[in-house]
Amino acid sequence: MDESSVQLNTWRQVVVLIVGDALTGAFAGFFAFAAVTTPAAGKRALAIVMAVLFGLLTAALISGTWAATQPRALVAGPAGLRFESARRPWQLRWDELVSLRIETGYQLLARGVLLVPQRWRRTYVVRLIMTPTPGKHEADAMLNRRFRGKWGAAPDSWSFPFGSARELVAPLDAALRADAGERYAGTVDAGRLPPGLL
């Protein structure tokens, strides 16, 4: 049985996460050093609070980085579509889907961010939109809870987000074209999207 597997972990995502971990860790270290060396009690207390906050943020980011770097893949085959992951895998037969499409677009960062030009404030968004066949989807409870109406999907559809990984669009498109048949509507450019879809 021929299947197309698209690995969802990308080097760009890993690098961004590691840089974020390093920056927050550096801030935590800076404030910890300031807490030890600052003679003024008020400034020392503020430095301690900031060191603790950045330390907790660093710990949370490292945990998220570990989770994000675990092997994940979207596999399309003659039988259907499945998400392979150590955490919360799922699978669907093709007859459980009315339609699906890859949707791309962009969001803008807050207007006041350093007053930078609009083209530099764009964040790319990639997601898989799936419309289930009423009454036929066995994975209904889990998929409804996690994906129905989320990340910009219509109330009767599921949205599976890929963040800003535009490098996944071509291999995902090729995999779905090979196996999903007429239910696959291709790649749709949705243009500017409302915030909160990543």
CATH classification of the domain holding 81: 2.30.29
**For residue 8, what are its two tokens?**
């969802």
Q: Please give the share of the chain, as a percent, with pLDDT higher than 70.
A: 79
Looking at the fold, whether 89 and 182 belong to one and the same domain comes out as yes
| Structural domain that includes position 64 | 11-68
What's the structural domain count of the chain?
2
Same domain, 161 and 98: yes
Residue 184 lies in a domain: yes
Q: Please check the confidence at residue 197 and state whether its pLDDT lies above 60.
A: no
Domain boundary residue, one of 24, 45, 68: 68
Whole-number Å distance between alpha carbons of 173 and 33: 50
Do 53 and 126 lie in a common domain?
no
pLDDT at 153 over 70: yes
Does the residue 124 lie in any domain? yes
Per residue in 59-103, pLDDT tens? 877 776 666 667 788 899 998 999 988 778 888 889 889 999 999
On whether the CB atoms of residues 132 and 159 are closer than 8 A, the answer is: no
102 and 151, same domain (yes or no): yes
Q: Kindly report the pTM of this predicted structure.
A: 0.67
Residue found by looking up tokens 């949205």 in the block: 159
Task: Look at residue 20 and tell me if it is in a domain.
Answer: yes
134 or 13, higher pLDDT? 134
Residue 2 lies inside a defined structural domain of this protein: no
Neighbours of 145 (CB within 10 A): 9
Strands 184-192 and 97-108: parallel
